[in-house]
Structure 1
Amino acid sequence: MMGGKGLWGRVFYPCAPFLTTLNASLDPVFVTCCTTGPDAQQDGVYFIQATTYVSGEGPVHLIKPTFLSPFAHSAMPSNSPKLLSDIGLTPTKCAELPFFGDVISDLLQKLSGRPVIVATPHQQFAERFAAYCPASTLPRIVALESISLFLHPRRGQHDFAASLQHFCGRPAAKMPSSDDARDLCEAMVRDHYARAHKLRQLIARSFDDIYREAGSEPSPLNQWLEVLESLLDEPSLYCGSGTADLFGDALNDGEFSGDCEIAATDSERILNTITPMFKRSYHQTYDGQDILSSRYEDAAPDTSTRNNLLQQFFDRLSKHFDAKPRAGQLELSQQVAEAFDNGNFLIGDAPTGTGKTLAYLAPLLWWSKQTETRVAVSTYTRALQEQAFFNEVPRAIKLLKECGLTDEQLPRISLLKGRNNYICGRAIIDTAPEPSAASSIARITWMRLAIFYCEDIAADLDGFPLSPGVPSANAPATLRQARAMVNQTRALPACCRGKSAMRCAAGIRTQQALRSHIVVTNHAFILAQPDEFSHVVFDECDHLHEVALSARSFDIELEDVMQLSKDLRRNRGRDRAALPMLSKLISNLPVVPPRLGAAADTAQELCSKLDAVAFETSTELKQFNEYRRELEGKRTRAESASLFHEYLESGRGDVLLTTLQSFLDTVNGLDSSLRTTIEELGDIELRLARKIRWRLHRPLESLDHWREGLELWLGGESGEADFSDKLHFEAEFTRRRHPLLLLKYLLPQEWLGDVYFPSLQSAALVSATSKIRNSFKPMRSYLGLDILAETTQERAGREINNFTGPTTFSTDAAIYCVPEDAVPYAYRGPDHDAWLEYIENYFFYLGERTRGRILGLFTNSALVKRIGERLAPKFRAIGLQLLWQGMPGLSKEEVMRTFKANHESILLGVDTFWYGVDFPGTTCEHIVIAKLPYGAPDRYMHAQQARLGYGIQRNTIYLPKALAMFRQGCGRLLRSENDRGSITILDKRVLDGQHANFLDELPGGVDEWDMPNIVRANTEECLSAIFKHMGLAADIKRRGLDAGFVES
């Protein structure tokens, strides 16, 4: 039971100066504080309000709604940022308002020691209060975002605007009020009490355990928990006269403590009685449904009915958007249908704007249901997979219903990812923290995982928000602890069978997929499980080469091997490791089974040996690296690529081979001893034994992977030490304390064309970059389709048809600029510094005049970080926000969301920002490509060249990948017919004949003679052309920014 409860439900600490002051009221204050940015030192406040809503008193303003100038009157900018101008705060208006720096201390002082519920992130408000009221007691801050993360860990965003939309059903105002904050708080509490009673009890019991384990001494965490408990248990403190009649029945005090009093003492025991949402959903949709075959051998469905349906589908689609039908969309749809009807392959080039997802979904939804066949839609990433499943599939289903199809005529559709993306029912039970045996963050994360397991439609961990929401002095450490707990609950290969599989989200997802007509999956999953499907649509098919490389290769990170050994043997604070827990269990058993004792001792011994043998392997690999350095300058690049073979076969690597054999023996022995221990623990009816069994299951997957890789290293594919010519043997040392052992599949396109594609009955491969250098030949070679088309002794060649989608946008929409005087890229030294300075100057000059709206594309994350850190203060000084991929405190998704929300910003990105991101309208009007996206020349590439020849490797692998990435990057600009903008290529190599292929990839217009508008001039003239194209010249002159690039 909860003990020692006063008004706040817990013992209160009035003597703790950082918690409260003696005379501070305990009524929660709802605060909105609107600022120009997150930096307390640099960004200003332009609106603040603080209000209490105690039942029976009505709203009481501690700080009445107050507008302020975020700029000093002596440093007023000539133009307000967009977020200010949108609410009427022009420079003239700001000059009439008090400067926030003169009054903010007095205003914030009124909140000293009070429990405050803020609409802004916790850390931002805390830093601002500390900066302006350094001598005052910090308020007891709870952010609404934190409550959402802690109490409602759902998929999607948790910031104030997203939470208000989710819980209150209304969009956030540009300037939220205290009423909005109070309404959101009450809505989240009401949603909690709308839960099933068992889940409410689980949360109350877990909360009580968290509080007890947090310790009796006052702390920021205790403070936060106390405020949240009061919000849950005493809603009368804030449910008085907010937005009138927003909610129905009044919330009652004492519900939360009541739930805890009647709850069982063990949270996991309560969890075991709850039927999770994913199981209920499965029974509703799939009960009584048979497993569908992945192969279809009968005659094709009626084509005339299908064609009529497709025509109706796309007619209705254009009416939905009040636009003309998209060119090529219907034709692509028909060709996909014909490929599946005839058992052929199709490769389709669908330029940006074609609407390719709906083009292939429409015939696929019809075909799969008519044939009662299981087919797959495979995307490049899990994010694109979710986009297709949650956005495009519902849209397609809605259109098919409008075309007259009934629910019985529509296919069943499911989402399928790898098993470790899902929560395992056994794992979530067995990893429940023991008393005094886990950190507070581990306990909080377990509770949030249990909620997510019960409420998410799939218990898919890609949708689980990792941040626990509670205050933390060390955010990276908090996230590490949370991630460790999440990883413990992930499903494992064959983790649950029989009845237990129905409480495992991975088991349910398998049963759903087997009974679904359409399975939306990703390239990595489908190539790792190549026998699951016979009919597939590959979206973003140009990535199949690199995904096949990953699927067919092996790597052993020696740092990970050493870490696994430590994780098994060493406790981390209060988070117990598996082998010490096992030793404690055995010491407390009255009789120790002989096999268990022997296996535990062996596991302990071999776990220590694993760490030692990994270190020895690292030492021997460093010896090889010295050997390689001696010879590399004396060999050609192609010869250097095979130096590892030479080292091992010459006898100089005998010690390394012996060490690798010892490594393999240790892995096998540890695997065997852990499996024996797991088996023996199954006979011990103790809760701790179950938990240890699960902890010991988890390393087995890594050990299996290392075993397979080491066996290939020591024996080749045939087991006869032949060093298979299909694999490239390598050790990578760059930026590592210990090397990475690599086995890379040398020519992934051969596996695709010889092995995987022939196993399929039909497939459609679509992308915006299927046609490179005005031909399908490069991409067909890159993906192995040319091999598939050839007849061999083993099989007949397959028919492969091509589809070319028409250009969808006018060439008038975009201008392409290549500055002829751009500083050439250099890897290091003074030339590199000069290049870096030019890049920074270009971004700042362009961004200041366009008010942001720029996406910068790079090929190196370290460069992005360096440029971002150097440019951020300069942009902040002129009221613009600079974002970059990997910036501290923001995930990639958060960076993209912020860029979309604030049009006056600049975003720098690498890798995935070239592909698949969508910034429509005025969010992104300018793209700057800093450097041509060539892959880095490495030994793997040289090994390919040694096998194929320089020219063939360049034309079939190296160039297709680079050109496809370039086209995809350019495709981020125009996302609709109304978009307009510029693309600047700051790599003047593109003007040379050797690299001119890139300019040939720029899209032309609808007519064959309509060529892209390319400006080849100096930087000054390029920028002038951009400003003229966008109609900015007059505005730039009016703002006094018409000085030239060199002059500036």
Structure 2
Amino acid sequence: MNERFVVVDLETTGHSPVNPDKIIEVGIVVIENNDITGEFSTFLNPNRPIPAFITNLTGITDADVYEAPAFRDKAAEITALFENSYLVAHNVPFDLGFLNGELAASGFSQLHNPVLDTVELARILYPQAPGFKLGQLADYLDITHKAPHRAIADAHMTAKLLLILLQKLKQLPYETIAHLLNLEKRLNSDVHAILSEQHQALAFSSDENEQMDIYRGLAMKALTDVKPEKQHIDTSFGSYLDGIYEVEGTMEQYMPGYEKRNGQREMSETIFDAFQAKNHALIEAETGTGKSLAYLLPAIYEAVSRNKKIVISTYTTQLQSQLLDEEIPLMHQLVSFPFHVALLKGKQHYISLDKFERVLASEESDNYDVALTKAMLLVWLTETETGDIDEIQLPSSGYLFYRQISTDTEGAIDPSSPWFSRSYYQRARRKAQQADILITNHALLCTDMFNDYQLLPSYDKAIIDEAHHLEETASRNYGLTLNYVQIQNTLNQIGRTDEGNWLGKLLMKPPIDDSYDFSKTDWNDIFGKAKYEVDDLFRMLFQYVVEQKQKSKSLSDTGRIQYRFDGEKEDPAQWEVIVEMVNRLSFYLRDLIHLLSSLSQPFVSNHSFNDYYLEDLKTTMEALQSIIDRMEQLFLTDDNHPGVKWIEMETRGARNAVYLYSEPIDISTLLADDFFSRKESIILTSATLSIRNSFSFSQKRLGLSPENLMTAKIHSPFSYQNQVQLMIPDDFPDIRHSTIDGFIQAVCEAIISLSDITDGRMLVLFTSYDMLRKAYYLLRETIDTSQYMLIAQGISSGSRSRLKKNFQTFSQSILLGTSSFWEGVDIPGQDLSCLMIVRLPFQPPNHPVYEAKSNQFKNEGKSPFFELALPNAVIRFKQGFGRLIRSTDDRGIVFVCDARIMKARYGKYFTESIPAVPITHDSTKLIMKRAEEWF
């Protein structure tokens, strides 16, 4: 490829060329014959001040551009560089938008070059990259990036990236290139000529790629299953641990800077003892214990020595990735014998090649995200060994498309089918059967449990990490959900007979003709009525809830409504109308199922025809029946199990965006009967299982019998006495007797004072988004935003990991978080010096599940506060507290704004459930002085 590529990168005063923001620096790099042959760089005077944020990001100051030329002075020179070339940028719309805006304003013709967007091309050609910002790709592809956020350095980086992308494109199989050519017209990059050239070159090539499996026009990485050999261990468990943990053991050999942690070996031995005694165990392992390695060692020994599978279940995919990418490779070095590990997730995580091959042919209605998703999947299939969609980051609406082609949608495949032998899900199941250690997640573990153990391979022993989430996961999986969007999506995918959706396409298949008993008129009529009824039902539910909340004067001021319902206690006149609507919708859906069943006959009688369409029909009818079943359980039947049903919605959302839920009130009996009584030994571990050194709360909620239960608390190796100060002001407004605004003002004043002491580096945890939002907008008005980077969950754009990365990127940052930031966020070292907890994390008392559980405790003569609210809040508080100290070198302050921790009679439950640390309870002024002295 001898084309000329001109790569451009701009630094600007902001993000909007029509604002109008201005260009302050241009960097251009020229590529010819696959080599960088020239460059151009200049500052430009924007004729306005450069915002402090931009100066912090780029290092470019007003002084740098003071004597620089205006854009119009360089416009002709810049335009000339782009003659007869591709225009290349990392996010073309941004750079081209600014260039053309400035050219138009200066009286020059705009650029109309063919473009290549390296963001888009990187997404397609490196779909497994952890991110697609320039710095992330530089790290992933090992490209030197010396001065990020400076135009010429970023242009050079983009040029190097482009050459790598073009080289990667040359390595793709012929079949993949052919599919990309079909999708190219819907992409932003003008890659038709480049793809065509490569397509022609491969057409005349006789080389066969043995690393690829080509079937029905799809190129996939060729995979072979190797059955692992079983091993024999002839050493005792004690000797096995000695060889790893003790002096000159393998830990010392393979872990640089390894320091022996007594608690780690204690945990390994406790788990082994529980396995041998066939006991269950609750093990709280405080931060820094190294619990993953501590439980992997006995799990591997037990699995291999006894030839028994051990299941390890985690709550988050983040911990699964850590186990597979970091801990397991280390274990292979530490352990002297081979062992085999497999990961198994639910069917919805794995791509169906059968489904994907069929939808590839129909791109006439593809939008940009779907075309990009298809392109990414095509390249990913040439590389993936798992087919697990979590390996890649799809565009937002790409996930909606992916749901249509996951293994969850394909029904049963005939084991003799060529697709069955290539199925990623079936391959994952085979590996799971053969593995010594099977890693899965709580959701699949619980789904397996409640489906009579049909999904996971047989096992007797398991280790459940992040076990404080097991109860809620089990409740959610035993319950059910239904919402407007789910139902409408199901119906829209089927479609009317005259639409190009699933049914319209099916009716065009050869075996079907007018002689079969299927009335298109009946279908379209009933289908239209069903869609109307769905809309009407959910609008009625929305209106009903609003009216009930207004009657009780409990309409949420946060915009979120949760309404617990019970058919026997609802307003009879209105509720009967809702039940009648549910019945009507059920009848329409049954009629649609009946009509679809008549379509199966042509495919049954035509034996030469593929079973695809029969399976599709069956899956579609099952999807409609599932809606009927869930509606009946929610509205038309009385459950034998005491449960709670509720409705959630946004008061400012669409009038039919209603979500329906049902969960058991108490899952402990189900877990006791269906799980713990049927398994030999289940180890439950977490950093937060005890309250004031007692495991009774966790034990009761999970249904664990004390007869065959072991408990252990593994203490942290960290010196909390020297590393942490817990500080609680005694002069904050009492939120119960003053306005929330006064309390928020005091919180913000404390944030500003502490940030001066700690140079930012603060994580502030809220219990409500409403409070977070108020604090953010007040801080934005009062804090020096040129000095501190203020980041807020739900306001600043990006995922949790993106916000965390931004927090760590800027030296003086303040991160405001709620919900998910209370746990699982790891910010070690000097990046985090102060953790502020705004309110003790009690659940809202009006949450439907909490309400139902509270009523149950009241009926049993127990205190809902001490049995439920307080223990849950303490567990959550411990999770939040654990964000601060992540290594032996960390130091910091935990600042709790809620004086109840000292003044309330239950406050000691919080302070006595965390490691012993020095506590200061004084005026804010004296606390700030003490904090400054301590740092």
Q: Provide the TM-score with structure 1 as the length reference.
A: 0.76
Q: Which residue, 647, 671, 685 being the options, matches 1:766? A: 685
Over residues 267-313 of structure 1, what are the superposed CA-to-partner deviations in whole Å (9 max), with x where a residue is unaligned? x9966355633x60xx2433x779x9xxxxx9998434434344359
Instruction: Establish whether residue 149 from structure 1 lines up as the match of residue 54 from structure 2.
Output: no
Contact 1:374 1:519 in 2 (8 A): yes
Structure 1 segment 464-613 matched on structure 2, within 5 A: 464-467=392-395, 479-480=396-397, 482-492=398-408, 494-498=411-415, 499=417, 500-530=419-449, 531=453, 532=456, 533-569=459-495, 576-583=500-507, 585=508, 591-592=513-514, 594-595=516-517, 597-598=518-519, 604-613=524-533
Contact 2:184 2:192 in 1 (8 A): no
- Equivalent residue, structure 1, for 2:209: none
Moved more, 303-312 or 31-40: 31-40
Give 1:889 deviation, angstroms. 4.8
Equivalent AA in structure 2 for residue 815 of structure 1: Q
- Equivalent residue, structure 1, for 2:178: 205
In structure 1, distance between residues paired with 2:289 and 2:842 = 27
- Equivalent residue, structure 2, for 1:967: 878
Equivalent AA in structure 1 for residue 180 of structure 2: F
Give 1:334 deviation, angstroms. 1.3
- Equivalent residue, structure 2, for 1:943: 852
Q: Secondary structure at the match of 1:900?
A: helix
Give the number of aligned pairs.
895
In structure 1, distance between residues paired with 2:527 and 2:591 = 9
The verdict on how the C-alpha distance between 1:490 and 1:56 changes in structure 2, with shifts beyond 3 A counting, is: closer
Give 1:625 deviation, angstroms. 4.5
In structure 2, distance between residues paired with 1:615 and 1:518 = 47
Instruction: Establish whether residue 161 from structure 1 lines up as the match of residue 125 from structure 2.
Output: no
Q: Secondary structure at the match of 1:206?
A: helix
Structure 1 segment 649-660 matched on structure 2, within 5 A: 653-660=575-582
The verdict on how the C-alpha distance between 1:108 and 1:705 changes in structure 2, with shifts beyond 3 A counting, is: farther
The verdict on how the C-alpha distance between 1:32 and 1:336 changes in structure 2, with shifts beyond 3 A counting, is: farther
Moved more, 814-823 or 546-555: 814-823
Over residues 956-1000 of structure 1, what are the superposed CA-to-partner deviations in whole Å (9 max), with x where a residue is unaligned? 433222211111111111110111122222223333314514641
Contact 2:386 2:424 in 1 (8 A): yes
Equivalent AA in structure 2 for residue 958 of structure 1: A
Contact 1:306 1:363 in 2 (8 A): no
- Equivalent residue, structure 2, for 1:188: 165
Moved more, 695-704 or 497-506: 695-704
Contact 1:313 1:399 in 2 (8 A): no
Contact 2:271 2:683 in 1 (8 A): yes
Give the aligned CA root-mean-square deviation in angstroms.
4.3
Equivalent AA in structure 2 for residue 255 of structure 1: Q
Instruction: Establish whether residue 448 from structure 1 lines up as the match of residue 448 from structure 2.
Output: no
Q: Which residue, 806, 809, 824 being the options, matches 2:719? A: 809
- Equivalent residue, structure 1, for 2:318: 383
Over residues 540-563 of structure 1, what are the superposed CA-to-partner deviations in whole Å (9 max), with x where a residue is unaligned? 111111111101111221343244
Instruction: Establish whether residue 798 from structure 1 lines up as the match of residue 720 from structure 2.
Output: no
Equivalent AA in structure 2 for residue 208 of structure 1: L
Q: Secondary structure at the match of 1:369?
A: helix
In structure 2, distance between residues paired with 1:676 and 1:70 = 73
Q: Which residue, 159, 167, 189 being the options, matches 1:225? A: 189
The verdict on how the C-alpha distance between 1:58 and 1:917 changes in structure 2, with shifts beyond 3 A counting, is: closer
Give 1:881 deviation, angstroms. 2.7
- Equivalent residue, structure 1, for 2:299: 364
Instruction: Establish whether residue 955 from structure 1 lines up as the match of residue 869 from structure 2.
Output: no
Equivalent AA in structure 1 for residue 37 of structure 2: P
- Equivalent residue, structure 1, for 2:808: 900
- Equivalent residue, structure 1, for 2:201: 258
In structure 2, distance between residues paired with 1:256 and 1:388 = 41
Instruction: Establish whether residue 97 from structure 1 lines up as the match of residue 64 from structure 2.
Output: yes
Q: Provide the TM-score with structure 2 as the length reference.
A: 0.84
Q: Secondary structure at the match of 2:157?
A: helix
Over residues 317-345 of structure 1, what are the superposed CA-to-partner deviations in whole Å (9 max), with x where a residue is unaligned? 35523142124011101111222222111
Give 1:96 deviation, angstroms. 6.3
Give 1:452 deviation, angstroms. 1.8
Equivalent AA in structure 2 for residue 959 of structure 1: L
In structure 2, distance between residues paired with 1:615 and 1:622 = 11
Instruction: Establish whether residue 308 from structure 1 lines up as the match of residue 242 from structure 2.
Output: yes
Give 1:161 deviation, angstroms. 2.4
In structure 2, distance between residues paired with 1:31 and 1:453 = 32
The verdict on how the C-alpha distance between 1:774 and 1:129 changes in structure 2, with shifts beyond 3 A counting, is: farther
Give 1:676 deviation, angstroms. 5.2
Give 1:48 deviation, angstroms. 5.1
Contact 1:30 1:50 in 2 (8 A): yes
Give 1:95 deviation, angstroms. 7.7
In structure 2, distance between residues paired with 1:754 and 1:782 = 14
- Equivalent residue, structure 2, for 1:54: 32
- Equivalent residue, structure 1, for 2:695: 776
Gaps of at least 5 residues in structure 1 are 1-6, 9-25, 215-220, 234-253, 293-297, 468-478, 635-639, 790-796, 1005-1010, 1031-1048
Equivalent AA in structure 2 for residue 538 of structure 1: I
The verdict on how the C-alpha distance between 1:704 and 1:69 changes in structure 2, with shifts beyond 3 A counting, is: same
Give 1:80 deviation, angstroms. 8.2
Over residues 577-616 of structure 1, what are the superposed CA-to-partner deviations in whole Å (9 max), with x where a residue is unaligned? 2234345x27x87834515x25x66654543343344345
Give 1:61 deviation, angstroms. 1.9
Give 1:690 deviation, angstroms. 8.6
Q: Which residue, 285, 289, 312 being the options, matches 2:226? A: 285
Q: Secondary structure at the match of 2:732?
A: coil
The verdict on how the C-alpha distance between 1:131 and 1:957 changes in structure 2, with shifts beyond 3 A counting, is: farther
Q: Which residue, 812, 820, 823 being the options, matches 1:912? A: 820
In structure 1, distance between residues paired with 2:796 and 2:918 = 38
- Equivalent residue, structure 2, for 1:422: 350
Contact 2:177 2:195 in 1 (8 A): no
Structure 1 segment 838-877 matched on structure 2, within 5 A: 838-847=746-755, 850-865=758-773, 867-868=775-776, 871=779, 877=785
Contact 2:244 2:250 in 1 (8 A): no
Contact 2:6 2:29 in 1 (8 A): yes
Give 1:647 deviation, angstroms. 3.1
Over residues 913-963 of structure 1, what are the superposed CA-to-partner deviations in whole Å (9 max), with x where a residue is unaligned? 211121111222222222221111223322212222274443343322221
Contact 1:416 1:519 in 2 (8 A): yes
- Equivalent residue, structure 2, for 1:341: 276
- Equivalent residue, structure 1, for 2:332: 397
Equivalent AA in structure 1 for residue 250 of structure 2: R
Over residues 865-909 of structure 1, what are the superposed CA-to-partner deviations in whole Å (9 max), with x where a residue is unaligned? 565466558768414333333346523332233333334323222
In structure 2, distance between residues paired with 1:872 and 1:397 = 50
Equivalent AA in structure 2 for residue 614 of structure 1: V
- Equivalent residue, structure 2, for 1:1008: none
Contact 1:36 1:44 in 2 (8 A): yes
In structure 1, distance between residues paired with 2:598 and 2:710 = 52
The verdict on how the C-alpha distance between 1:610 and 1:232 changes in structure 2, with shifts beyond 3 A counting, is: closer
In structure 1, distance between residues paired with 2:769 and 2:386 = 33
Q: Secondary structure at the match of 2:568?
A: helix
Contact 1:857 1:913 in 2 (8 A): yes
Contact 1:446 1:485 in 2 (8 A): no
- Equivalent residue, structure 2, for 1:236: none
In structure 1, distance between residues paired with 2:363 and 2:540 = 44
